[in-house]
Amino acid sequence: MREQLAKIREEALSRLSAVTSSAELEELRVRYLGKKGEMTAILKQMGGLPAEERPKMGQLANEVRAAIEEKLSEAKRDVEARALELRLRAEAVDVTVPGKSVKVGHRHPMYIALDEMKEIFIGMGFTVVDGPEIELAELNFDRLNAEEGHPSRDWSDTFYFDREEKVMLRSQTSPMQVRAMDTLPLPIRMVAPGRVYRKDEVDATHSPMFHQVEGMVIDKGVTMADLKGTLNTVVKSLYGEDTKTRFRPHHFPFTEPSCEMDVQCHKCGGAGCPTCKGEGWIELLGAGMIHPHVLEMAGIDPNVWSGWAFGFGLERLAMRRFKIDDLRLIFENDVRFLEQF
């Protein structure tokens, strides 16, 4: 048995010294130290030895087993070190090779125009507010003085969620003006940008989903002259001092008196073209003095306070700002178009 143990030790240590992989290392561990390994087979023969020889053979077997285990640990470290070295070589990075350029995006032209507009109004003391796109018809129509029977409340113009016509996709950001009158302290100067929805047919200047910016001022002694002066200042800040505008009488239930503001067509300079539908002007916004009844519904005394409001389409603002001739280009997400800005 002594000779067998010596042979096992010599053979195991020799094989372990030549190990090159984890699989080979595990195979040798099982062969020599496993439940059915050679060391286990030797130990099972201990029962047949004379009693006086068993302690010596047991001690020798333990020494052989310890030597093999130590060599196993050493071989494992060597195998892992070689594997790490090979991995580091394979994953080495040549820092002298030029890196791949990262394509950086930029803001959408419509939001460039929106940010410019916000900066102008904030500089004039306005607060920017936000609100829900799913709105109550009460705030979208009733509180804006658009009673039952008004054309804008018809199913052919508005997206409703229920047959009772109480919940809808907002058709304007005007409900934020109502919310502002209900919650903000007087005087009020606010603008409300956001998405709105109407059943419009898609063409060069219309879309069923578009962005609107509405604003409102309520203070003592506010007049129509303040409204016109403010809007002209905003438009000229966006488009330049030579921008031509015009105000036309109109009717809105929310305001009285009311008007519409046009800017001269950027495409044809007023001569008439497909973009402006031959008129030479593009409607930019509707505006007017807030109706006294609207103020009363918000608990504001129209004999003390007065105000004005306006609302315009952000897409048309961007079209005039960047001389875009078709609104559909803004929504198509064609990179060739967007990269121009």
Which CATH number characterizes residue 247's domain? 3.30.930.10
Strand-pair category, 209-219 with 245-252: unpaired
Per the model's pLDDT, the better-predicted residue between 255 and 150 turns out to be 255
Q: Are residues 145 and 203 in the same domain?
A: yes
Looking at the structure, do residues 38 and 156 belong to the same domain, yes or no?
A: no
Q: What is the pLDDT of residues 90-122, one digit of tens each?
A: 888 777 888 788 888 888 888 898 999 899 999
pLDDT digits (tens, 9 = 90+) for 139-176: 999 999 888 878 888 887 889 998 888 899 999 999 99
Supply the range of the domain harboring residue 20: 2-90
Residues 59 and 28 in one domain: yes
Domain boundary (90, 119, 139) is at 90
**Residue 82 and residue 166 in one domain:** no
- Whole-structure pTM value: 0.64
Residue percentage of the chain with pLDDT more than 90: 36
The number of distinct structural domains making up the chain is 2
Phi and psi for 140 in degrees, rounded to 5?
A: -80, -25
Position 98 in a domain = no
Digit-coded pLDDT (tens) for 288-329: 999 999 999 999 999 999 999 999 888 888 887 888 888 888
Mean pLDDT of the chain: 87
Min mean pLDDT across 29-43, 89-103, 180-194, 212-226 is at 29-43
Tens of pLDDT, residues 58-85: 777 778 788 888 888 888 888 888 888 8
- Residue 102 included in any domain: no
Q: What is the mean pLDDT of residues 260-281?
A: 85
Q: Using one digit for the tens of pLDDT, what is the confidence trace for 13-37?
A: 888 888 888 888 888 888 777 877 7
Out of 90, 120, 139, pick the residue that ends a domain.
90
- CA–CA dist 209, 207 (Å, integer): 5
Q: Is residue 113 part of a domain?
A: yes
Q: Is 96 a domain residue? A: no
246 and 212 part of one domain: yes
Same domain? For 228 and 329 the reply is yes
| In-domain check, residue 97 | no
In a domain, 52, yes or no: yes
Q: Of the candidates 24, 57, 90, which is a domain's last residue?
A: 90
Per-residue CA distances from 38 to 16, 35, 62, 158, 188 (Å)? 15, 9, 13, 87, 93
